[in-house]
Amino acid sequence: MPSATPHSPSSPNRSSSTTTTSITTSRPATPSNAGHGPDLDLAAVSIAQCPEQGAKAKPVLEPRPLRIAILLNSYRSRLLPAIRGSYQRTIGAVAPLAKLAFYEPANRPGEFPNPDYFDLIVLGGSNVDPRKRYPWILEVHGFVRRMVRDYPHKKLLGICWGHQTISNVFGGKLADAAVPEMGVASVTLTGRGREFFNEAAASGSFKLQQHHRREVVAEPHGFVALARGNQCFLSASNAMLTFQGHPEKDAETARLRAHDSVRWFGFDAASDEKAWAQLEALINADHDGEMVWRRILEWAREPCSEAGVVEQQEALALAEEKASKM
């Protein structure tokens, strides 16, 4: 992977401070090979010993490390380095060879990844209401639409604000939550969700860190719910997967936003000891972020549905038509 971070052809040509990170821990980064498919690379050949043949070895093709672009959408937040570190830790726990590149469209308008260069693009959280019509938010909407039209087989993951924004683009409805969520909470799977999340099928649920005060209240066009309460969606094309919860957030990172409890819940974490203890318990509770990331990265290598791609593009057209009449 070249050291220069690629940008979308539609992005302005500028000097960029986009952060590219390799979380390789066991061996040097593996360069991509344009002559091979998206999941295999000549440089990823390893030697497996065959006990029945003594020391004789045979080559085994391993999947090429995933290349992941992550859009951090927080506007002028001092917590951006911590958020970046949380992605590195949680993805690194299940895919230590993955290549991560970070973008900040809220702070560097027009700066988006070139989808040709990545296997998975993550639309992450934000500290801004996704219903706002700020220019940079509209640019993100445009990027999602371009992905659907021009890169219909490219995988796009939405987390929290990204979940809400993708839903918004496809005609879903957002509203203020009656009660904001903060800390680890259980997510109940639908029947389709049990099929998708094999590791959670027996229990019928998984737990993730939550941190939001807005939610999806009407399902977007062209998506199926994998969890109740509009907590998780999968597109008909199998190219887009979204979560209201935060698989990338660990307790260390979640604790940095505990001060929001003052505005959200009306108590002062510094003086209300009982309420603070309850919140601390929720933040520190066990969760299934690692399991969810495993499934996300498996899904990132799965093929898309050709019929679903057509359905997804029709769903986008329908959402745009309805929006134009509002």
Domains of the chain with CATH codes: 67-324 (3.40.50.880)
User: What per-residue confidence (pLDDT) applies to 264?
Assistant: 67
User: What per-residue confidence (pLDDT) applies to 11?
Assistant: 45
Separation between Cα atoms, residue 71 and residue 58, nearest integer Å: 40
Give the list of residues 6+ apart from residue 261 with CB closer than 8 angstroms, or none. 182, 267, 269, 275, 276, 279
User: What per-residue confidence (pLDDT) applies to 23?
Assistant: 52
Q: pLDDT of 268-290, one tens digit each? A: 656 677 877 888 898 999 999 99
Tens digits of pLDDT across the chain (326 residues)? 443 456 654 444 443 445 555 554 333 333 333 333 333 333 333 333 334 444 456 666 778 999 999 999 999 999 999 999 999 999 999 999 999 999 999 999 999 999 999 999 999 999 999 999 999 999 999 999 999 999 999 999 999 999 999 999 999 999 999 988 989 999 999 999 999 999 999 999 999 999 999 999 999 999 999 999 999 999 999 999 999 999 999 999 888 887 776 666 666 656 677 877 888 898 999 999 999 999 999 999 999 999 999 999 999 999 999 998 87
User: What per-residue confidence (pLDDT) applies to 42?
Assistant: 30
User: What per-residue confidence (pLDDT) applies to 101?
Assistant: 98
Order of strands across the sheet that contains 99-103: 19-22, 99-103, 67-71, 120-123, 155-159, 240-243, 232-235, 223-227
Separation between Cα atoms, residue 70 and residue 38, nearest integer Å: 19
User: What per-residue confidence (pLDDT) applies to 302?
Assistant: 98
For the chain, the average pLDDT equals: 85
